[in-house]
A = this chain, B = another copy of it.
Amino acid sequence: MLERVVRLNADYARAIDDDRLEDWPSFFTEKCLYKITSADNHRSGLELGVIYADSNGMLRDRVAALREANVYERQTYRHLVGLPAIVGTEGEVTRAETPFLVVRIMHDGTMDLFATGRYLDALVDDGGVLRLRERLVVCDSSRFDTLLAIPL
């Protein structure tokens, strides 16, 4: 299972950083939960997320909106995804926690630390393919860039 989670994370990060955003929803099951929140909010049990989607259709809508808006055009991102920890299994669901770091590269070549945090995932085998039923993206910093529109 560890190796399958590693593969999923590598492919997921690569799809985003290669700007193949249209592939991004395919890492999730049809019924799913995707949320970006901060460590503070997560600790406080706040349900509120900066970004929230509870179906694959909402993920696809988000990609379409991003393409329309073109807001992220002037920068690119590089995800470094750490080693996943398998933290539990409940029936068909595997729970994993994985740290990540995202660097933003501006059009003029400047690089900065954009986000760090961890993925809290619920994974299922979806017809032979490992997919995310749930990905909670808990960012360490509460200071979100207003352009936080790309998937993390």
Contact = CB atoms under 8 A, between A and B. Distances in A.
A39 B17 CA distance: 11
B14 A85 contact: yes
A83 interface: yes
A82 B85 CA distance: 14
Copies of this protein in the complex: 3
Interface size class of A (residues with CB under 8 A): 35 or more
A3 B109 CA distance: 33
Interface stretch (A52-60, A63-71, A122-130, A136-144): A136-144
Contact of A85 (B11, B78, B84, B103): B11
Contacts of A116: 78, 80, 103, 105, 111
A112 B11 CA distance: 27
Nearest to A75: B140
A117 interface: yes
Nearest to A39: B76
Interface string A1-42: 011001101110110010000000000000000000001000
Interface of A: 2-3, 6-7, 9-11, 13-14, 17, 39, 76, 78-85, 97, 99, 101, 103, 105, 108-113, 116-118, 140-143
For the complex of A and B, 4 pairs with smallest distance between CB atoms: A109-B143, A78-B116, A10-B83, A109-B141
